Amino acid sequence: MKVIIVGGVAGGATAAARLRRLDEQAEIIVLERTGYVSYANCGLPYYIGGTIQDREALTLQTPESFRARFNIDVRVKHEVLSIQPEAHTVTVRRLEDGSEYTESYDKLLLSPGAKAIRPPLPGIDLDGIFTLRTVEDTFRIRSFLEEKKPRSAVVVGGGFIGLEMAENLIHAGVRTTLIQLDDQVLLPLDKDMAGEVHSYLRGQGLDLRLSTAVTGFRRQDGKLETLIGDQPPVAADLVILAIGVAPESDLARRAGLTLGQKGSIAVDDHMRTSQPDIYAVGDAVELAHIVTGQKALVALAGPANRQGRIAADHICGLDQSYSGAQGSSILKLFGMTAAATGLNERSAKAAGVAYDKVVTYSASHAAYYPGAQNMTVKTLFDPATGRILGAQIVGFDGVDKRIDVMATAVRAGLTAQQLTHLDLAYAPPYSSAKDPVNMAGYVIENLRAGLVEQHHWDQVAGLPDDGSVILLDVRTPDEVAQQGLMRPDVIHIPLDSLRQRLGELDPSKKIYVNCVSGLRSYLACRILSQRGFRCSNLSGGWRFWSYAARDRVHDAAPTHPCGIPIGEDRHGA
Amino acid sequence: MKVIIVGGVAGGATAAARLRRLDEQAEIIVLERTGYVSYANCGLPYYIGGTIQDREALTLQTPESFRARFNIDVRVKHEVLSIQPEAHTVTVRRLEDGSEYTESYDKLLLSPGAKAIRPPLPGIDLDGIFTLRTVEDTFRIRSFLEEKKPRSAVVVGGGFIGLEMAENLIHAGVRTTLIQLDDQVLLPLDKDMAGEVHSYLRGQGLDLRLSTAVTGFRRQDGKLETLIGDQPPVAADLVILAIGVAPESDLARRAGLTLGQKGSIAVDDHMRTSQPDIYAVGDAVELAHIVTGQKALVALAGPANRQGRIAADHICGLDQSYSGAQGSSILKLFGMTAAATGLNERSAKAAGVAYDKVVTYSASHAAYYPGAQNMTVKTLFDPATGRILGAQIVGFDGVDKRIDVMATAVRAGLTAQQLTHLDLAYAPPYSSAKDPVNMAGYVIENLRAGLVEQHHWDQVAGLPDDGSVILLDVRTPDEVAQQGLMRPDVIHIPLDSLRQRLGELDPSKKIYVNCVSGLRSYLACRILSQRGFRCSNLSGGWRFWSYAARDRVHDAAPTHPCGIPIGEDRHGA
């Protein structure tokens, strides 16, 4: 058997190695357009910023090492120009000398990846404007930093690459402006979850411009200027374009393979294209989302690796299928971590999936043990069954753990009740006896059991101010003094005085209760509703509202979760 | 409704708070024998060692704060002497003045916990010998440290408390000997997994004596001596007894409640004892293990809290059931983390559960990103179905995350194949594109698919040395020079030369292959078996063997997992 693999990174490299392990006799050829294979593509921004100092660490796998270990014929700087599916051949160009040749295959695996988008804006090809996708791009940007010592940069785009580049540029001492077309960064998060990220990034010195369209570039008085419509241009020594990626499907399209959405390559469960002897994996293919069952594009390394392995298995006659992606993703932003899995509100609405949501705050570990920090957890669930549909978490410690437990729960189809039963490993340095994931389950179960009704941050402004409803704040006087009230008409009664001061509340009016996090206000709601008041709890409390509804400057990560007295969370939900 | 709760920590405190949230009108009385409620019991060793500096942090919940927030009548220093189930009363003693009274109840909830075992050894009551269970115990030990400034200590017992105390004593500058009856510490781990822990602890300065029985104590020339049979006694200024705990079921027994194993209290799924109006939760009760279905004792905070909530729910008419425990546990040991969930080999054998196992090494995150450290993962699975039965992990970074994902997988009944499909959140600072949990799944699937046969560390010594089999080591020459061969008769052929040197191997003999971790030797096995050799892979490789089979001194945690070249793990399984 002779297998040709187009693209030697992530899915392609994984497939090649797995093929060899399964078939010692197969002839395996990897054709890679760049000069590198199996490089650490997710590490590239960190090399530019200097967190990764060893250039070799990015590119340790060489064609030679791959050959030595796996007996694979790796040809870098070889570009596949066309595929002849009927003839089972590809036409290849040696980029070093421009010569071309034809290579036959029994099975062909396409792992072309995606290309960085470069919109046709005026001035897009000026010197000093870079995209980042390959090792070559990386060395080019790094050389520019070393030689030109830029003092300022513009990053266009607030996705993973844009934000990682912004962090790394600031880390390297470069004053950085990030320009984002959307009204938020990081689209795996809903806008309300991104609010805290925006505040935090600004606190780290990033000049963040949201809802801002780049209209072009020009060089003015020697300065590279990024034009943003009728606003003043932003001058900088360096521009990174990180607008997004598009599937590299040109080769597939010209070969007549069936395409999916946005020019992606359509594949079946075994990663086969419309031509049964041609497989495709990675950023270029269209996948089924495991929650919605609908097709989606997921440009992430984990799925690419899994797909490469599954394609190799199927080529070798093992019956493996790809079970779909759920878009689990995570990003380090200076000291902050933002992560998501499964559906968010945007993707649930787009897919027509019914959902409800809760926002919870939890300490990353026992609050009495040093280093605990709070995290914000937003969990989407199916209101009919309680099944967990997705989660988003923003925090400073232990976020990666909770998103992976949530990802496993989503994958396994667990319900909120099952989340409450999860027996997670607890010791004070690592968690609390009720883990943040358990807590999310409890809060959902309280809601589903009808123990409490909730409203959300975006409803606060619209609550009547004509005295027909009551807004009740149960924080402590100190908290209110420090943080202020959400509206001037809010009545303030600290939780621990509420039982004594019920007479101050008109039982004919519905009461909208808040505290800092939504936890004490839940206790208040339980007191009120059992005493005949109609009431609703503000999900996520003052804290979530303050980030989501206005542009609050981020507070330093508090040791105690959002000012909640220690132990309260142990008896909260 | 009037509810009496006996015991105001963990399960008792959780039940009290949940009861109030569900029933604003109920009369709730908590009777606690010590002077503290809802204290941070898992934090006590860290206060003794000074990691937790604030005494208030341990005991922030007071009877007064509990009353203010939850309107609960908390009576500390009140001991329940007896229960009269027919009359629905308890007899209570005020420990401050010795007076007694009777209190009636509609529902009674027992959360008595467990008591530290004090065996009837000679000298057990000498000054300077302590147990640790309550806040009072903690302050007593801390005062002793501050006043007597002990320079040496003996800890008896190598479970959670014993090890945490040993760490904290060393942290406080006290030379510490830990004496353990078993041949290993930390029984949630199998002995082979404990091997690395032993090495590491010794490297941290702990004088660890395994398989050693304490036979008594005496004071000799002013020194407190711990006697260990015919070995020389160990002199120390301080002894901590951490032999284990026993259910505090005396009250339940005398009330005629049905007991379970080891004197525990028997309960149903709703945490009801044999008397329907009496519930019991926490360390004192017997639980169903979710994997085996058999009854077990689990003295951990997480289950206690969940049970307290479920008992409260059931008392208030909500239909909640406890779904069983799986013994997820975790321990910080200086910089190391050891964790377990579900079944280990010992518990699987005891329960008669068929299992197979794999040992894998994985980096905690992308090896090219700073700070990656390797972890050892042992995973038990059902050989018939591939269902994950349990996992144990020892390492330095990211262990808590992987054990919680494994715990979720065990709870959800996931198979090894489903582990491979888990879409976990990857970015270089947090994980690898193939997470350690995915890797465990892949290795199990390779085994179950018949792609490789494996043998274990304890079989190496017994392999014939008469030339009838071949032991083949495929590490690099440098590794062999540094680490040595496992046996003098091992043949050494580095993996990357294997294809060229197959002629040196006798195809009539079975080949037992090892490398450092079991990963390159798997690749070697794939090459060999496809070329007609019979072979077997040493699970966990030289590294696991070196800790499990002999008392190797722990190496400093390497940046690259156990010397595996970067990237190898990306193409390994």
- Picking from B52, B163, B365, B368 by the largest number of A CB atoms within 10 A of its own CB, the best residue to mutate is B368
Distance CA A251, CA A92 (A): 12
Distance CA B131, CA B140 (A): 10
Quote the percentage of chain B above a pLDDT of 70. 96
- Domain with residues A2-113+246-315, CATH architecture: 3-Layer(bba) Sandwich (3.50)
Confidence band for B55, pLDDT divided at 50, 70 and 90 = confident
Confidence band for B40, pLDDT divided at 50, 70 and 90 = confident
Q: Residue A431 pLDDT more than 50?
A: yes
Inter-chain residue contact A52 with B411, CB threshold 8 Å: no
Q: Residue B85 pLDDT more than 80?
A: yes
Chain B residues inside the 8 Å CB shell of A400: 398, 401, 425, 430-431
Quote the percentage of chain A above a pLDDT of 70. 96
Confidence band for A564, pLDDT divided at 50, 70 and 90 = very low
Inter-chain residue contact B418 with A426, CB threshold 8 Å: no
Inter-chain residue contact A300 with B434, CB threshold 8 Å: no
The whole-number pLDDT of residue B408 equals: 98
The whole-number pLDDT of residue A552 equals: 59
Residues in chain A: 573
Inter-chain residue contact B449 with A318, CB threshold 8 Å: yes
Which one of 3.30.470.10, 3.40.50.720, 3.50.50.60, 2.30.30.100 gives the CATH number of domain B335-448? Answer: 3.50.50.60
**Choice between A437 and A320, residue whose per-residue pLDDT is larger:** A437
Chain B residues inside the 8 Å CB shell of A42: 366, 426-428, 433
Quote the percentage of chain B above a pLDDT of 90. 90
Inter-chain residue contact B60 with A368, CB threshold 8 Å: yes
Which one of 3.30.565.10, 3.30.56.10, 3.50.50.60, 3.90.420.10 gives the CATH number of domain A129-243? Answer: 3.50.50.60
Distance CA A128, CA B275 (A): 79
Helix (H, G, I), strand (E, B) or coil at A548: helix
Q: Residue A84 pLDDT more than 60?
A: yes
The whole-number pLDDT of residue B549 equals: 86
pLDDT (tens digit per residue) in A25-78: 999 999 999 999 988 889 999 999 999 998 888 887 899 999 999 999 999 999
Confidence band for B67, pLDDT divided at 50, 70 and 90 = very high
Q: Which residues share a beta bridge with B208? A: B178
Running DSSP on this structure, what letter comes out for residue A566?
A: T
| Whole-number average pLDDT of chain B | 93
Q: Residue A186 pLDDT more than 60?
A: yes
| Whole-number average pLDDT of chain A | 93
Inter-chain residue contact B408 with A403, CB threshold 8 Å: no
Please check whether residue A517 is in contact with residue A562, taking contact to mean a CB–CB distance below 8 angstroms: yes
Q: What Rg do the C-alpha atoms of chain B give, in angstroms?
A: 27
Which one of 3.40.50.620, 3.50.50.60, 3.20.20.210, 3.90.1150.10 gives the CATH number of domain B2-115+246-315? Answer: 3.50.50.60
Give the minimum alpha-carbon distance from A490 to chain B in angstroms, rounded to a whole number.
Answer: 22
Q: Residue B561 pLDDT more than 80?
A: no
Which residues, 6+ apart, have CB-to-CB distance to A260 below 8 Å? Answer: A266, A285, A286, A295
Listed in order, strand segments (DSSP E) in B10-143 are 27-32, 73-76, 78-84, 89-94, 100-104, 107-110, 114-116, 129-131
According to CATH, the topology of domain B130-243 is FAD/NAD(P)-binding domain (3.50.50)
Confidence band for B558, pLDDT divided at 50, 70 and 90 = very low
Does B335-448 match B2-115+246-315 at the fold level?
A: yes
Chain B residue nearest residue A38, CA to CA? B567
Element spanning B403, H or E: helix B399-412
Distance CA B360, CA A249 (A): 37
Please check whether residue A214 is in contact with residue A182, taking contact to mean a CB–CB distance below 8 angstroms: no
Distance CA B103, CA B101 (A): 7
Domain range list for chain B: 2-115+246-315, 130-243, 335-448, 454-571
Give the minimum alpha-carbon distance from B306 to chain A in angstroms, rounded to a whole number.
Answer: 7
Chain A residues inside the 8 Å CB shell of B38: 567, 570-571
DSSP-assigned letters across all residues of A246-304: EE--HHHHHTTPPB-GGGPBP--TTSB-SSTTEEE-GGGBEEEBTTT--EEE---HHHH
Chain A residue nearest residue B19, CA to CA? A571
Distance CA B254, CA A209 (A): 71
As a whole number, mean pLDDT of residues B338-361 equals: 97
Residue A525's CB is within 10 A of a number of other CB atoms, namely 28
Closest partner CB to A368 (pick from B22, B43, B430): B43
Q: Residue B553 pLDDT more than 90?
A: no
Closest partner CB to B427 (pick from A17, A330, A427): A330
Please check whether residue B469 is in contact with residue B509, taking contact to mean a CB–CB distance below 8 angstroms: yes
Please check whether residue B515 is in contact with residue B561, taking contact to mean a CB–CB distance below 8 angstroms: no
Chain A residues inside the 8 Å CB shell of B290: 423
As a whole number, mean pLDDT of residues A431-456 equals: 97
Closest partner CB to B60 (pick from A421, A531, A567): A567
**Class for domain A454-571, per CATH?**
alpha beta
Distance CA A495, CA B17 (A): 14
Please check whether residue A185 is in contact with residue A197, taking contact to mean a CB–CB distance below 8 angstroms: yes
Chain A residue nearest residue B38, CA to CA? A567
Inter-chain residue contact A424 with B408, CB threshold 8 Å: yes
Chain A residues inside the 8 Å CB shell of B18: 571
The whole-number pLDDT of residue A202 equals: 95
Chain A residue nearest residue B569, CA to CA? A14
Chain B residues inside the 8 Å CB shell of A70: 571
Chain A residues inside the 8 Å CB shell of B68: 496
- Picking from B168, B365, B402, B424 by the largest number of A CB atoms within 10 A of its own CB, the best residue to mutate is B424
The whole-number pLDDT of residue A221 equals: 86
Give the minimum alpha-carbon distance from A550 to chain B in angstroms, rounded to a whole number.
Answer: 29
Confidence band for B370, pLDDT divided at 50, 70 and 90 = very high
Give the minimum alpha-carbon distance from B121 to chain A in angstroms, rounded to a whole number.
Answer: 31
Residue B235's CB is within 10 A of a number of other CB atoms, namely 16
pLDDT (tens digit per residue) in B272-286: 999 999 999 999 999
A147: left (phi over 0), alpha (psi -120 to 50) or beta: alpha
The ipTM assigned to this model is 0.95
